[in-house]
Each structure stands twice: as C-alpha cells, then as structure tokens.
Amino acid sequence: MLSGGAEFSTAGLDLASQDNRTAIAEIRWGDGRAVLQAVQMGVDDDAIGEAAGRVALVGIDCPLGWPRPFVDLLIASRANAVPPDVARDDPAKQALAFRRTDVVARDVTGRWPLSVAADRIAYPAMRCAGCLRVGADEGRRRGGGSRRTPHPTRQRQRQSLRHRISALTHGRPAP
C-alpha cells in the first residue's frame, strides 16, 4: 500500500464516552511513508463526522456491538421471559459478557479484555452506536462503507512482533 500507489488519508479515533476524553489523529499515506497530519483531543461527534468526511478510512478504538447472548438477554428481559438458567455457570456468563472478538483477543493475549456488556467500556460503545448510525447514513449516501473493530491489545502485540521481525531481518538485536 505504501510502496507506490495513490496518496490517501486515514483517521484513528480513540472514542470515549465523553468528548473531553476522546481523541482523533489523521495520517496521510503516500510515497512510501506515513505523515501525521493532525491530532485533536476533546473531540465531539460533529468533529468526528467532519474528520470522517475528509479521510478514506476511520479506525475506531471502541467495541462496535454487544455479544448476541447479551442482546438476547436484554430482549428477553424486556418481555419478562428470561430463562432461569441464563447465567448458570462461567461459560454462560462469559457468553453474555464477551463477543467473539474478545474471545480471540483472550486466546492471543492470555487476558480477557474489558467486557462491552459488563465493564465501563459499555459507555463509549453506546456513544459509538450513535456515531456509526450517522456514519452509515453518510456511507450509503456516498455509496459504500464497512466496519471492523481492532482490539488494541492485539494490535500492540502484532506491532511488537512486526518490529522484532524487522529488527532481526535487518541484523539488529530485537528489543
């Protein structure tokens, strides 16, 4: 991607539940390098939308949904139809609390990430749901769009592994 092709910009969004804890960075890619164009702290939803309109892709550090069993529990609760054994054992509780992405992250890192259903990370996820709706509406108007959530711990591990491999292949000792 960086070895020749057209220039493009991306943004990385660290989405918190409150504007004052939300940050966005914009990066310009081209000519074999990446250049940090802007970093902004205290970002509100309007600024997020404006940045998304300027770049080709936005990476969001925030869960993009909830575990299906958790959603099913909420729906059943509203209908007063919760099965009595819904949280009968640890695997059932984990299914309520963690998404498939979280299970994979645990398999890679050996640690459970925050649960979007049961930890404070739920608050930014609630905000993200609204932002994604606005973004989806914009994407449909522009003719496209998809979404994925990177898990930050897994991303850091991959980056560290790439750095070590690069160091070893270039004759430097790995850190």
pLDDT single digits (tens) 102-152: 999 999 999 999 998 888 877 787 677 777 767 667 666 666 655 555 555
Rounded to the nearest integer, the mean pLDDT of the chain is 81
Is residue 90, in this structure, part of any structural domain at all?
Answer: yes
Is residue 56, in this structure, part of any structural domain at all?
Answer: no
Q: How many domains does the chain have?
A: 1
Q: Reduce the DSSP state of residue 169 to 3 states and report it.
A: helix
Q: Which residues contact 25 (CB under 8 A, 6 or more apart)?
A: 11, 12, 36, 38, 39, 40
Q: Which residue is associated with the tokens 């994925």?
A: 148
Is residue 159, in this structure, part of any structural domain at all?
Answer: yes
Sign of the CA dihedral running 47, 102, 145, 141: negative
Is residue 49, in this structure, part of any structural domain at all?
Answer: no
Is residue 18, in this structure, part of any structural domain at all?
Answer: no
| Predicted TM-score of the model (pTM) | 0.65
22 near 14, Cβ under 8 Å? yes
pLDDT on residue 175: 47
Q: For 2, which DSSP code? A: -
Name the pLDDT band for 174 (thresholds 50, 70, 90). very low
- For residue 125 the two structure tokens come to 């996820």
Domain residues for the domain of 90 are 63-119+153-175
Is residue 96, in this structure, part of any structural domain at all?
Answer: yes
Is residue 144, in this structure, part of any structural domain at all?
Answer: no
pLDDT on residue 169: 46
